[in-house]
Chains A and B, each alone.
Chain A
Amino acid sequence: MAFSGTERRRAEEIVARYPQSRSATLPLLFLVQDRDGWVTPQGIEDVADFLGLTPAVVLGTCSFYTMFKLSPVGKLVVSVCTNVSCLVNGGPQLHEHLRREYARSDDVFIEEVECLAACDRAPALQINYDFHGPLTGEQAVDLIERHRSGELTARTISGTATGGEV
């Protein structure tokens, strides 16, 4: 499997922005992550094929960055900040609350992250890279559930606006 016609055109557009094609590695990884729901071995191979790199080189870059998920994460990635401003405003407690609540969930992935640059809203979190805060545990669960039910529209797990472009 390689890029489909539409994906190939999209990938060509992305590569054309850069003087050297390898610079398109991160945007193309977002592209395959959105296509497959996580960065699959096939996704790595597709990016490598398209850029004329080896899969090992692409994986080496990919695994350095936290926004690329190398195993399935479901539909919603919830990133909870626990760095210093959130630390003293209940961030770790918020993270723990959500971690327990969604421990068995296949479609909601709770992760602890470093400072999200939203310290004026501490404790802050992101749902598929949309910012929310300050939130209590209950408010956060309610918000996640409203995304889950489709009442609120989430971005992709790469933070791409739904229906938009990478």
Chain B
Amino acid sequence: MAQETPVVTRFMRERPDDSWQFESARAYNAAYTRLERAFAMGPEAIVEAVQQSGLRGKGGAGFGTGQKWSFLPKGVFPRYLCINGDEGEPATFKDHMLTERDPHQLVEGAIITAYAIQANHAFIYLRGEFALGADRLQQAIDDAYAHGFLGKDIGGSGFDLELVLHRGAGCYIAGDETGLLSSLEGERAMPRIKPPFPAAQGLYAAPTVVNNIETISTIPWIIANGAEWYAGMGVNRSTGTRIFSVSGHVERPGNYEVELGMTFRELIEGLAGGVRDGKRMKFFIPGGASSPWLLPEHLDSPLDMDYAGSELRTMLGSGAITVFDETTDPLLVSWRLAKFYAHESCGKCTPCREGSSWIEKVLYRMVNGQGRPEDLDLLLSFGSNIVPGLNAPFAQTTICALGPSTMSHVVSLDRWFRDEIVARLERDTARRTSLEIVTVSAGADA
């Protein structure tokens, strides 16, 4: 029987009624006690430990966290820590939960991370729609200041930190690391071309680390339990645990924190109860809307963060798994995702700005019975101007990954449902043609 391995979700389960409150977090989760250990280790040893733990970013890209920290140029100050809580990847809802239900864990992780990278100013960029999360996080920050865990000379360590909660205002692309920086600087959240990478020139062109909320929430536990403990969990290069947001046609939708290496089947069928109402699964999205889809025959694959180059050619991305039953129209799901990307494309790069809305238009006619037999090939043809080669790991002609994401669902349609779709488009075309014959001849008679 599949089991969860709660690390960052442990405390919120133990104290579901008050886990976000300072007194509760202090009394029952020993909040802020890992600071002492961190200050005793010193910045370099923390970076070293996080590298050894194998911790990788949990926002989507899966880049090595300690490695990212180590890229900061030596001796260049000020530096900034920006924590990415702009969770907008469709079907992902873990950072939302972490912010509302364990903000002190996040603040403690932020302090340790800022100390490790020697930043005295940190920002948490929280998705604007998370109003309750913003209230609770601001309260947590205020409490941490009031008790001397933020501000000047934290715990007598000599380390100063200002931590600022910054609310977004409704925009998916602010979740891209450089889009976030543009937004935090008061501009449109348009991603920037790399290099320079944020580690060299990020916020206000200063060295900057951008990490996801779940990543930062994990840091106190690596400090408390050691790098070996964390590296001892997981599979291959995917160490530790991750929260998977499971939704769609499942019996028990929700967030499940599991050790990496568990199979999709154990997670979806064992923990989330499988497809509801006794139906069968048609397909599932394994890692947020930007990840190529998988079929029921792939359920025994392990949760591993390095699929892009493998036979499955997908990714665990943001850890959002959406399950669709046999009654689902894959074209409808694809169209809805296309509509999302067309809406959220920031407009900076031509292939994505123009391509995303054309993909939506063509899919709209396909799903509404107005498609033509060649439409799937048409999509692939102009889509390859956004994603040359059309295969994961995606190449891109755009600055950020939103470009290739606009095509991941189309590539999936082609890969898994091509015959079904082409047959349907042929039927739709034949129906329209016969209608045309009737109406035209009726018109001629009159």
Contacts and interface: CB of A to CB of B under 8 A. Distances in A.
Interface in B200-234: 204
Given A65-B170, A114-B90, A117-B87, A88 B131 contact: no
Interface stretch (B54-62, B183-191, B368-376, B378-386): B183-191
A38 interface: no
Contacts of B164: 17-18
A67 B130 CA distance: 12
B192 interface: no
Given A84-B91, A84-B333, A120 B167 contact: no
Contact of B135 (A29, A82, A161): A161
Interface string B252-276: 0111000000000000000000000
B167 A26 contact: yes
Interface in A39-72: 51, 60-61, 64-68
Contacts, number: 150
A25 B162 CA distance: 19
Interface in A135-163: 155, 159-161
Interface stretch (B92-100, B349-357, B412-420): B92-100
Interface string A78-102: 0100111101110000000000000
A119 B127 contact: no
B92 A84 contact: no
A118 interface: yes
A54 to B, nearest CB: 13
Q: Chain A interface: which size bin?
A: 35 or more
B135 A83 contact: no
A11 interface: no
B328 A130 contact: no
Given A126-B129, A129-B129, A87 B184 contact: no
A93 to B, nearest CB: 13
Contacts of A114: 88, 90, 172, 340, 343-344
A73 interface: no
Interface in B124-148: 127-132, 134-135, 138
B254 A120 contact: yes
A47 B352 CA distance: 32
Interface in B85-125: 87-93, 95-96, 121
A73 to B, nearest CB: 13
Interface in B283-301: 285, 289
Interface stretch (B1-9, B242-250, B396-404): B242-250
B248 A88 contact: yes
Given A18-B164, A84-B289, A120-B245, A164 B189 contact: no
B51 interface: no
8 contacts: A26-B166, A64-B188, A84-B90, A88-B248, A88-B325, A114-B88, A115-B92, A128-B131
Interface of B: 78, 87-93, 95-96, 121, 127-132, 134-135, 138, 162, 164, 166-172, 183-189, 204, 245, 247-249, 253-255, 285, 289, 320, 322, 324-325, 328, 332-333, 336-337, 340, 343-344, 346
Closest 10 CB pairs of A and B: A66-B170, A25-B186, A119-B247, A65-B169, A67-B170, A159-B131, A22-B186, A129-B131, A115-B90, A64-B188
Given A115-B92, A119-B91, 7 more contacts: A30-B169, A66-B169, A68-B169, A84-B322, A115-B88, A119-B93, A161-B135
